[in-house]
Amino acid sequence: MRFGAGMTWSLYHTISGATAQNTVMNYMFGTYLPTTEWTVAAHPSASATKRILNRTKNSILYAQPAWKLYYWADWTTANQLKLYNDYTYTTTPGDLATATTQTNTYTLNPNASSWKFWVSSANSKAQLITRGKHIIWFDAGVTDVHASYDASWNGSTFNGSTALFPTTYNFSAFAGHCSLPGQAATASNFSRLNPVIGTGSNFGSPVEDIIYKGFPVGYSTSSATVAVPQMYAFYVPGNDIALHRSSAMSNSNGDIGLGPGTTVLYEGEYWLRCSGDMTKNGYMLNFGPTEPDFT
């Protein structure tokens, strides 16, 4: 079987690595992300280096309705993008954009390569931004999520709706840190998400290398420091995304290796593996039979 046959990532746009950070971020938030699943608007402060944004997910937990996830972004600091869970407001969501308890930080300058923005033929909501083989921003764009929708949220500090974040090359996770379902937006309720791939100690050691076509992703139980997912979050279809489970990770469950990534030729197709460390697990993105240019 050829994994992801006919479903690949392709180049959408390139920006020179020498381009000013604000110009790149304006393109990312003003042009690229709105073509996927994101709605982006000006920050209430009218700052040129901040934005508010949201996206909608379908909750499959207890048949709850679709809900919006609210964030705000800040790239004021050089070589750094911060994405915050925007869980407080005064009248309508997004009118404050000042909450800072839960944040994911994206380092923008791992190298001087061009910025490349990619699109998926399998899922128009998926997002991938690279510099060289460093993945700056990746999100599988999954719509149906085992997560909480808090119908009583009124802008107070407690928002029981789950916030999901994109991942990046220096997160050891398939998806960025997020708030646990039904829990307050506090640092202690901030979980990373990793594949649930059945590699616990009961399987023994060694365990062979396996490439999964389609795999579930789960929350850890309590904090960002817990590597083993304990609660199902969502399923990633095996179209242009796969997962390499390293035999060296036989007694761990889902922990993802750090970037930079590496190109892998597998069954006649080129894949970008998120980590060049083959002793760690890594998600893989299919670019088809022609090797992509990441320079």
Domain boundaries, the chain: 9-286
Exposed/middle/buried for residue 114 (C-beta within 10 Å: 0-12, 13-18, 19+): middle
Whole-angstrom distance, CA of residue 115 vs CA of residue 36: 18
When pLDDT is averaged across residues 211-237 and rounded to a whole number, the result is 71
Q: What is the pLDDT at residue 53? A: 98
When pLDDT is averaged across residues 86-105 and rounded to a whole number, the result is 94
Cα end-to-end distance, the chain, whole Å: 30
**Strands of 115-120's sheet in order across:** 9-15, 115-120, 127-131, 134-139
Identify the band that residue 225 occupies on the pLDDT scale cut at 50, 70 and 90. very low
Structure token digits, residue 228: 């083993």
- Residue 104, pLDDT > 80, answer yes
Q: What is the pLDDT at residue 162? A: 81
Residue 202 CB contacts under 8 Å (≥ 6 apart), including other chains: none
Give the residues across from 120 on adjacent strands: 9
Identify the band that residue 223 occupies on the pLDDT scale cut at 50, 70 and 90. very low
Identify the band that residue 250 occupies on the pLDDT scale cut at 50, 70 and 90. low
Structure token digits, residue 144: 């149906």
Identify the band that residue 266 occupies on the pLDDT scale cut at 50, 70 and 90. very high
Give the residues across from 194 on adjacent strands: 218
pTM, two decimals, is 0.92
In 3D space, the residue among 127, 76, 128, 71 whose CA is nearest the CA of residue 98 turns out to be 71
- Residue 183, pLDDT > 80, answer no
Q: What is the pLDDT at residue 208? A: 79
When pLDDT is averaged across residues 227-245 and rounded to a whole number, the result is 80
Strands 50-59 and 144-145: parallel
Determine contact, residues 274/257, Cβ cutoff 8 Å.
yes
Q: Helices (H) and strands (E) in the chain — how many of each?
A: 1, 19
In 3D space, the residue among 281, 181, 186, 184 whose CA is nearest the CA of residue 231 turns out to be 181
Model pLDDT for residues 110-140, shown as the tens digit of each residue: 999 999 999 999 999 999 999 999 999 999 9
H/E run at residue 81: strand 80-85
Model pLDDT for residues 40-93, shown as the tens digit of each residue: 999 999 999 999 999 999 888 666 778 889 999 999 999 999 999 999 999 999
The one-letter code for the residue type at 22 is N
H/E run at residue 24: helix 21-27
Determine contact, residues 236/194, Cβ cutoff 8 Å.
no
- Residue 226, pLDDT > 80, answer no
H/E run at residue 26: helix 21-27
In 3D space, the residue among 233, 230, 193, 238 whose CA is nearest the CA of residue 212 turns out to be 238
Q: What is the pLDDT at residue 291? A: 96
Identify the band that residue 203 occupies on the pLDDT scale cut at 50, 70 and 90. very low
Q: What is the pLDDT at residue 157? A: 74
Q: What is the pLDDT at residue 39? A: 98
